[in-house]
Structure 1
Amino acid sequence: MKELRIIGVPSDLGQGRRGVDMGPSAIRYAGLSAALERLGYKVEDLGNINVPTPEMKEQNQNAKLRYLHEVTEVAKNLCGMVSQVVREGHLPIILGGDHSIAIGSLAGMAQSSTDYGVIWFDAHGDMNTEQTTPSGNIHGMPLAVSLGYGHDQLVTIGDLKQKVKPENVVLVGIRSIDEDEARLIREAGVRCYTMAEIDRRGMAQVMTEAIEIATNGTDGIHLSLDLDSLDPMFAPGVGTPVYGGVTYREGHLAMEMLAASDSLVSVDVVEVNPILDEHNRTAIMAVELVESLFGKTVL
């Protein structure tokens, strides 16, 4: 059993709404370390990466890439920490922060291998680029960046342009995609399971296929878990909620199936915003999902 290392990245630089920088604290307060220790894991919390607040920095003048320099520096620092954790033989759990932090997570994983799959649990595709973004918020770009699409400053973090192979990347829970973003997803060859497909076929069949895709010839799976993948009924404390999402039981089933696959190599948990939450419900939900991901079952 691998030892677990928790890394906090309290960044809201890639997001348009404030508060998600408190996500790591909220998830820790909800009892993440204790929950994992009860499952028999040895857990060490490495603390938080230093992240400047937007008030400390002058906003990047490129409205299509807001806080580009700051997001890049955070991703580089995270890349280094994740890479070190993996070299030491441990499994990193990265707590966001907005989803732009996944640029650093995947860059760090790619330091040891580009032969791993990615399951991207999200309401959104996160496949925008500087040319297609409607907002300029980099949290809508991390999957595109990790596949080698986007600004050179972002895609070259970790000195390797393409961090993962598109044929081993799966989007799950998608229900809000921009038109140009959808075109890039199709061109890249990324498998996308929308909520409509989950409704028709069921989460069990979707996850069976998703795990097969992400493990086909790979060294394991990185899970990027955005809490807005869940319906706001279950996870209200997110910056970009979209109704019609994954249910409580569907979310747990997906995590339980990933645990049973014994293929997880890293995970990031992102977009918990305590300011928008109700009694820390979303952070508690995040901890419960991570418990299922690491083997908690009813019996």
Structure 2
Amino acid sequence: MNPAAVSVSRNLIVIGAASGAGAPDPATAEGPDALRHYRVFHDTPLQHVEWNAILRVPREALDTPLHAVRALDERLAAEVERVLLAGNFPLVVGGDHSCAIGTWSGVHRVLADRGPIGLIWIDAHMDSHTFATTLSGQIHGMPLAALLGHGDAALTGIEGMEAKLRPEHVCLIGVRSYEAGEAALLRRLGVRVFEMGEVRRRGLATVFDEALATVRHGTVGFGVSVDLDALDPEEEPGVGTPVPGGLRRAELADALSRLRGDRTFVAMEIVEYNPRRDHGHATADAAGALAGAITPL
């Protein structure tokens, strides 16, 4: 990336990723179209927000979930790269969370020659399985492991075989549902995980500040991946895999607002919106509120 590109105002470019092949309920693939239809992402007086393409799985890759995920993620990585190189800020909107492999592989591709990237992963789940540890076989439970360099080569090899993230530059926030195999991997790698119990004891603001310090330390930029199932389904029902006892929209928006004006904050994604499970567009509005919290950039 041209260093001069980040010294000027960045437009926020929304990239849809219609990913549903990685999840048990493919209706998450409808999420980007629904969010664009509902017009939940808005210009502000200081920030231009525009929709880019909604990327879809090419017809020839629809034969297996693995082929579908890889093909879409390759397209997404290239589009994220293009937006960053133009000096803008990509907001990827999914779709199931398998799209994260494409998002952060694209960011890594742009910034790798300058240094590593950090990532805050806000999610009810760890998403750190491989095919060797998963009970369900669902690829949306694997993206973080793949980005850390673990799992099937079809996933880890997107935009090159090297790991896209280093464990010391990653934090998870809001975790409250996971399985032994993925927890063992993150523990072995030394990834910092703030489970929901710790968030409630210490407060999200304190936890978020600690996570920020981690992902900024020794990196050239960082991003945030928000799975909407991190939110409490009592308030936000329209998600792919709801888990009780999550974050509240207002508190997460307040935490994200700390990122306004941070030039090392390079990309964000909001995923797992399922319009078929939403009520009165409540969760769609939550996605808009979370994106609105980071603007102006």
Do Structure 1 and Structure 2 share a fold, with TM-score over 0.5?
yes
Structure 1 271/137 Cα, relative in aligned 2: closer, same or farther at 3 Å? same
Aligned to 1:31: 39
Q: 2:15 aligns with which of 1, 7, 21?
A: 7
Amino acid of the residue matched to residue 90 of structure 2?
A: P
- Distance in 2 (CA, whole Å) between partners of 1:265 and 1:68 is 28
- Distance in 1 (CA, whole Å) between partners of 2:248 and 2:68 is 35
Q: Secondary structure at the match of 1:182?
A: helix
- Distance in 2 (CA, whole Å) between partners of 1:210 and 1:100 is 22
What are the ranges of 5 or more consecutive residues in structure 2 without an aligned counterpart? 1-8
What are the ranges of 5 or more consecutive residues in structure 1 without an aligned counterpart? 61-66
Q: Secondary structure at the match of 1:5?
A: strand
How do residues 104-253 of structure 1 correspond to structure 2 at under 5 angstroms? 104-114=102-112, 115-253=116-254
Q: 1:57 aligns with which of 42, 58, 62?
A: 62
Aligned to 2:48: 42
Structure 1 42/261 Cα, relative in aligned 2: closer, same or farther at 3 Å? closer
Amino acid of the residue matched to residue 74 of structure 2?
A: K
- Distance in 2 (CA, whole Å) between partners of 1:180 and 1:87 is 37
- Distance in 2 (CA, whole Å) between partners of 1:247 and 1:41 is 25
Aligned to 1:100: 98
Structure 1 16/53 Cα, relative in aligned 2: closer, same or farther at 3 Å? farther
Contact 1:234 1:285 (8 Å CA) reproduced: no
Task: Report the CA distance between 1:251 and its aligned residue.
Answer: 1.1
Task: Report the CA distance between 1:295 and its aligned residue.
Answer: 4.5
Aligned to 1:63: none
Amino acid of the residue matched to residue 144 of structure 2?
A: L
Task: Report the CA distance between 1:18 and its aligned residue.
Answer: 2.7
- Distance in 2 (CA, whole Å) between partners of 1:295 and 1:140 is 32
Contact 2:44 2:295 (8 Å CA) reproduced: no
Task: Report the CA distance between 1:108 and its aligned residue.
Answer: 0.4
Runs of 4+ displaced beyond 4 Å: none
Task: Report the CA distance between 1:248 and its aligned residue.
Answer: 2.4
| 1:177-204 deviations in Å (ceiling 9; x for gaps) | 1011110010111110011001110111
How do residues 272-291 of structure 1 correspond to structure 2 at under 5 angstroms? 272-291=273-292
Aligned to 1:85: 83
- Distance in 2 (CA, whole Å) between partners of 1:224 and 1:271 is 11
Q: Secondary structure at the match of 2:280?
A: coil
Q: How many residues align structurally?
A: 286
Contact 2:124 2:243 (8 Å CA) reproduced: yes
Contact 1:13 1:53 (8 Å CA) reproduced: no
Aligned to 1:257: 258
Task: Report the CA distance between 1:229 and its aligned residue.
Answer: 0.3
Are positions 1:18 and 2:26 aligned together?
yes
Q: TM (normalized to structure 1)? A: 0.91
Aligned Cα root-mean-square deviation (Å)? 1.8
Structure 1 164/39 Cα, relative in aligned 2: closer, same or farther at 3 Å? farther
- Distance in 2 (CA, whole Å) between partners of 1:279 and 1:21 is 19
- Distance in 2 (CA, whole Å) between partners of 1:177 and 1:19 is 22
Q: Secondary structure at the match of 2:110?
A: coil
Task: Report the CA distance between 1:262 and its aligned residue.
Answer: 4.8
Structure 1 43/175 Cα, relative in aligned 2: closer, same or farther at 3 Å? same
Q: Secondary structure at the match of 1:45?
A: strand
Task: Report the CA distance between 1:52 and its aligned residue.
Answer: 5.0
Taking only the aligned residue pairs, the percentage that are identical comes to 38
Contact 2:44 2:296 (8 Å CA) reproduced: no
Q: Secondary structure at the match of 2:237?
A: coil
- Distance in 1 (CA, whole Å) between partners of 2:73 and 2:244 is 30
Contact 2:40 2:284 (8 Å CA) reproduced: no
Task: Report the CA distance between 1:259 and its aligned residue.
Answer: 2.6
- Distance in 1 (CA, whole Å) between partners of 2:39 and 2:50 is 13
| 1:33-63 deviations in Å (ceiling 9; x for gaps) | 4x2x124212332221132589x934x3xxx
| 1:241-270 deviations in Å (ceiling 9; x for gaps) | 000101123212221123365532001110
